[in-house]
Structure 1
């Protein structure tokens, strides 16, 4: 029989196919985790998923109602009030809890494993609520930017900003891990065993890509709504996350990962 140099097709269960599926699975876990649900944790996964799904469904239904009643004074006041409450809970909570005696006392009271689970759950809900409150504010204050000569220009610009912003934040999260995204090290008050100080990817050029370029997607969504109020809300939230960074996160990073010397 004559020899042939033709390569046989790779078997269905080849390592490369498994690696591709594994990579897609990890990407999905990261995206879902960024939205507030850590499916990589088995503890009470069904209950946490049900709560997360209910909040998402309620947010979607509220957005439809706000969009239908856009311009109503009651709807606008409700949207602004909701955004203020979430801003206080989220940013105020981060500053009050992370790298403080509050986290240490809570961990000591319930145990580290249980404390981390509860913290991740609450912080995940706040991640989700942060996005929902901004979306509802945009739905309540749409069409404030003037129409331009090119149809759909605001939407195109918004989509571009959304892709760049979310892509950068996802890239940074992929490199640092969800534990860092959820401030696990700051909650525990020590360097996490799996998440070190990253200087790869977007961190080669940006000191804090999650809080900087990573927030462009919020402005992009606001442009799609043509909402000036939405742009202001995203800007205020971005300023507040930098306040948290300067007050809590940067001192922790310098002390824990850089040996007390600023980068």
Structure 2
């Protein structure tokens, strides 16, 4: 019987759930959390999904959405951690509640990272004017997507979802083995 990271034995069903929970968690929804957090994250994801489909009606809007999501993710993390905003959350909400709120918000951001690419491709799919067959472009993209997704899932399974969601940085445990 296979073992998990902690050396405990797992059934095939447990391993399958772990894989599904990891993939869904990488998309923004942590299935291994409480009902409140799952509900709050799901609501944020549903709202993002609805608003993006309603408000983004042209290629320019899609480009603004992509740039906004990337800025929120990359610049937001720099400002959030370098500015010590996570410490303010710890003080105001307590470490556990602050982590739950941060993780739910980050889940919505993760969803938007993936979804903005789909919206962008929807609006710019015909803009790649190259003397290469569309089938070849699709196959190359599919191969790159498959390899990168498998690599990302494998790495996340190795380190765990808490590291994927920056728990060690949020709780100031980075570099301490936590």
TM-score by length of 2: 0.82
Q: Evaluate the alpha carbon distance shift between residue 133 and residue 168 of structure 1 in structure 2; reply closer, same or farther with a 3 A threshold.
A: same
In the TM superposition, residue 62 of structure 1 has moved relative to its aligned partner by 2.3
2:132 is aligned with 1:148: yes
2:86 is aligned with 1:103: yes
Question: What stretches of structure 1 move > 3 A for 4+ residues in a row?
Answer: none
Q: Counterparts of 1:101 and 1:56 in 2: how far apart (Å)? A: 27
In the TM superposition, residue 97 of structure 1 has moved relative to its aligned partner by 1.5
Structure having greater relative contact order (Cα 8 Å, sep ≥ 6) = 2
Q: Counterparts of 2:82 and 2:94 in 1: how far apart (Å)? A: 17
Deviations, residues 2-52 of structure 1 (Å, cap 9, x unaligned): xxxxxxxxxxxxxxxx71000000000000000001110114145236415
Aligned to 2:18: 26
- Answer 1 or 2: which has greater helix percent: 2
Verify the 8 A CA contact 1:35 1:127 in the aligned structure 2.
Answer: yes
In the TM superposition, residue 119 of structure 1 has moved relative to its aligned partner by 0.3
Aligned to 2:71: 88
RMSD: 2.6
Q: Which runs of 5+ in 1 are unaligned?
A: 1-17, 67-73, 192-255, 259-263
Verify the 8 A CA contact 1:39 1:45 in the aligned structure 2.
Answer: no
Q: Which runs of 5+ in 2 are unaligned?
A: 1-9
Q: Counterparts of 1:126 and 1:189 in 2: how far apart (Å)? A: 21
| Greater shift in the superposed pair: 33-42 or 83-92 | 83-92
Q: How many residues align?
A: 167
Aligned to 1:182: 165
Aligned to 1:128: 111
Aligned to 1:38: 30
Equivalences for residues 1-263 of structure 1 within 5 A: 19-45=11-37, 47-48=39-40, 50-51=42-43, 54-55=46-47, 57-58=49-50, 62=53, 75-98=58-81, 100-145=83-128, 146-149=130-133, 152-191=135-174, 256=175
Aligned to 1:227: none
In the TM superposition, residue 76 of structure 1 has moved relative to its aligned partner by 1.4
Q: Evaluate the alpha carbon distance shift between residue 49 and residue 100 of structure 1 in structure 2; reply closer, same or farther with a 3 A threshold.
A: closer
Higher Rg: 1
| Greater shift in the superposed pair: 104-113 or 164-173 | 104-113
Q: Counterparts of 1:81 and 1:26 in 2: how far apart (Å)? A: 35
SS for the counterpart of 2:72 is helix
Q: Counterparts of 2:121 and 2:146 in 1: how far apart (Å)? A: 19
In the TM superposition, residue 162 of structure 1 has moved relative to its aligned partner by 0.8
Aligned to 1:213: none
Verify the 8 A CA contact 1:37 1:52 in the aligned structure 2.
Answer: no
